[in-house]
Amino acid sequence: MDDFSVKFATHKPTPPGPALPKAIILLVEKKPATRSAYFEGLSRKGFQVIMAANGTDAISQLETQHIDLILVNAASMYSNGKGIVRNIKAKAPSIPLLLIVQENQDPEDSQAEVVLSLPFTLQKLLNRMKPLLPAMKRDVVKVGGLQLDTRERIVRYQGQQVRLTPRLMMLLQTLMERPGEVIERTELFSKVWETEYVEDTRSLDVHISWLREALEQDPRHPRLIKTIRGVGYRLDLGEPPTRPLGKRKTLLLEKSQ
């Protein structure tokens, strides 16, 4: 058993948090169930965990089992997981997938909804799983690779996540509800600020700049949130940014635990 598995398996019990919806988890891992810390930890939390030794085995399981969430431990296979994730997503594109990779390994362009780098605790794994589970999906707005949890005010993108202020969450949600469509400044301001007074919308520009600082590779030349001069703003997922979330202006955003 590797050092992380030992730490994970012997981690002290975490104080109970909000109850997680029970679900069926497909765990893709190069370890038998008797040696898997993830199998033990998730089973102890009440989840039904089905094991698969590799991508081919996982696809076979998907053909015969109802699966709510796929957990791929690429670290156990000494892989970045890109190939396995791609093959699984080709078979089951609608099932959310969480990818576990080695420390300091950040696979670009991964199709996984969430990417976790070792090491981490069981509680952190459960926190990342929670918005992907069926009972929580009603609180999640998803457009392309951009995912917003409106209950927790957390935006997830390219395996990273950041907690937004309530106003920023409302602004991003409004843009995500109409992707590719130009929304006029006055309409955006009126909806997000809940006011009929739209003579001064400079606060909108400030909040848009804060979202760009969190989401864009180059906030001065945005690719995701476009300004349509003289009209308003548009969410454009045709050219997604490549830099992880939350690296800049963290004082304006609350990083989730």
CB-CB contact of 97 with 84 (8 Å): no
| pLDDT digits 0-9 by tens, 169-222 | 999 999 999 999 999 999 999 999 988 888 888 999 999 999 998 888 788 899
- Specify whether 190 is located in the same domain as 238: yes
Predicted confidence (pLDDT) at residue 235 exceeds the cutoff of 80:
yes
Q: In what order do the strands lie in the sheet with 69-73?
A: 48-52, 24-28, 69-73, 97-101, 114-117
CB-CB contact of 50 with 25 (8 Å): yes
- Here the tokens at position 149 are 């949890």
- Specify whether 128 is located in the same domain as 151: no
What pLDDT score was predicted for residue 52?
93
Distances (CA, A) of 230 to 144, 181, 185, 192: 27, 15, 9, 19
- Specify whether 37 is located in the same domain as 119: yes
Highest mean pLDDT among 41-55, 137-151, 227-241: 41-55
pLDDT band for position 109 (cuts 50, 70, 90): low
| pLDDT digits 0-9 by tens, 56-105 | 999 999 988 888 899 999 998 888 888 899 999 998 888 899 999 988 77
Distances (CA, A) of 232 to 182, 222, 239: 6, 14, 19
- Specify whether 43 is located in the same domain as 154: no
- Specify whether 39 is located in the same domain as 160: no
| CATH at residue 28 | 3.40.50.2300
Tell me which of 97, 115, 132 is where a domain ends: 132
Burial group, residue 7, by CB count within 10 angstroms (0-12, 13-18, 19+): middle
Burial group, residue 187, by CB count within 10 angstroms (0-12, 13-18, 19+): middle
Residues belonging to the chain: 257
Mean pLDDT, rounded, for 22-33: 85
| CATH at residue 246 | 1.10.10.10
What pTM was estimated for this model as a whole? 0.50
First-to-last C-alpha distance (Å) of the chain? 27
More confident residue, 103 or 3: 103
More confident residue, 26 or 12: 26
Dihedral pair phi/psi, residue 206, rounded to 5°? -65, -45
Mean pLDDT, rounded, for 2-24: 45
- Specify whether 112 is located in the same domain as 40: yes
- Specify whether 245 is located in the same domain as 147: yes
Dihedral pair phi/psi, residue 34, rounded to 5°? -70, -15
Tell me which of 88, 112, 132 is where a domain ends: 132
Cα distance between residue 13 and residue 215, in whole Å: 35
The full 3-state SS of the chain, as one line of letters, equals: CCHHHHHHHCCCCCCCCCCCCCCEEEEECCCCHHHCHHHHHHHHCCCEEEEECCHHHHHHHHHHCCCCEEEEEHHHHCCCCHHHHHHHHHHCCCCCEEEEECCCCCCCCCCCCEEEECCCCHHHHHHHHHHHCHHHHHHEEEECCEEEECCCCEEEECCEEEECCHHHHHHHHHHHCCCCCCEEHHHHHHHHHCCCCCCCCHHHHHHHHHHHHHHCCCCCCCCCEEEECCCEEEECCCCCCCCCCCCCCCCCCECCC
Dihedral sign for Cα 249, 106, 161, 122, please: negative
Which of 47-51, 144-148, 253-257 is predicted with the least confidence, judged by mean pLDDT? 253-257
Q: What mean pLDDT is reported for the chain?
A: 79
Number of independent structural domains in the chain: 2
Q: Residues with Cβ < 8 Å from 209, sequence gap 6 or more? A: 219
Range of the domain at 120: 3-132
